[in-house]
Amino acid sequence: MKRCWLTSLIKDQAAMKGLLEQLKRYGIETDGHFWTDDLEKMLWIAARDEILKDEVGLWIIYGSNEALEPASIKKGLGLLVITVQAQKGTSFPIVGLWDGPLPETQALPTPLRGIEWLDAKNPALAAKLVAKLHAPARKEMPDYYLDVYGNPQIGMWFEAGPMDGEWKGAIFAVEGADISFQAVGPRGMLPSHATLNYPMQGVKLKMGEHEYTGWAVQNPISEKESHFVKVTGPPDAIAFGELPEADEAELFTIRLV
């Protein structure tokens, strides 16, 4: 039986209980948690395994513009969206159930722009959620593979590669953070060892008004492999893709604030 996972950015026990009871009245079984804002301990990843369970067909994020305002909340939530979509696809339904005015989509970090934002007081809310929960499953994926994971013991790692075909080398760059290690290996697991072809560090990129620092390798990377980078501190933005042959880089960019 399909069910929902509820993430509440607002730490209000009464509101959370009332919302769970409302969803249950409409036959929506829901489990959930209160968001903990701790980027250093990477607690944003705490709900990952629950959301990725096969029976979870809808992720609801309950909050408000005020609750979402801190950069640390935006970064943590965006990182969790990235890792969920890496496994469930970009078509996996995520709903922002909002108390107050809805956010301006274009002002949000990139991972949050695909969320459907609904007024928590909308009288048709239950019907919308039921329809989303029971809609036929689809698994649409972008043109790239991107995942992020970690904990205080191993640190934060990003994993990127092609969804199809092969990259003739790879580059991964960050803004507002540092890269301390890179590797290439089979997709889905940190490699125990790696041989890097012509590794590069400290590559400077300027994209629009933003400056990135990247690490790169010339290893060919198929859809069964990934470029792994260890990042110190959650970045403000990332840029990644196939290592360009010319000075002009055409990379995928994702802003987290």
Task: Single out the residue in 107, 133, 159 at which a domain terminates.
Answer: 133
Q: Please check whether residue 86 lies inside any domain of the structure.
A: yes
Q: What is the DSSP string of 199-256?
A: -EEEEEEEETTEEEEEEEEEEEEETTEEEEEEEES--SEEEEEEPPSSSS---EEEE-
**Rg (the chain; Cα; Å):** 19
- 202 shares its domain with 113: no
Q: For position 104, which CATH number holds?
A: 3.40.50.2300
- What's the chain's average pLDDT? 94
Residue 139 maps to a domain: no
Residue 125's pLDDT is 87
| 169 plus 240 within the same structural domain | yes
Q: Looking at the structure, do residues 128 and 42 belong to the same domain, yes or no?
A: yes
Residues 112 and 172 in one domain: no
For residue 115, is it within any domain?
yes
Given 133, 159, 194, which residue is the final one in a domain?
133
- Does 234 lie in the same domain as 178? yes
| pLDDT, position 247 | 66
What are the pLDDT digits (tens) for 158-202? 999 999 999 999 999 999 999 999 999 999 999 988 899 999 999
Q: Give the end of a domain, one of 86, 114, 133.
A: 133
Of the candidate ranges 89-93, 148-152, 227-231, 247-251, the one whose mean pLDDT is the lowest: 247-251
pTM value? 0.95
Task: Give me the domain span that covers residue 227.
Answer: 144-255
Can you tell me the mean pLDDT for 68-88? 97
pLDDT in tens, 208-239: 899 999 999 999 999 999 999 999 989 999 99
Question: So what's the pLDDT on residue 194?
Answer: 84
Query: What's the number of domains the chain is made of?
Result: 2
pLDDT at 248 over 80: no
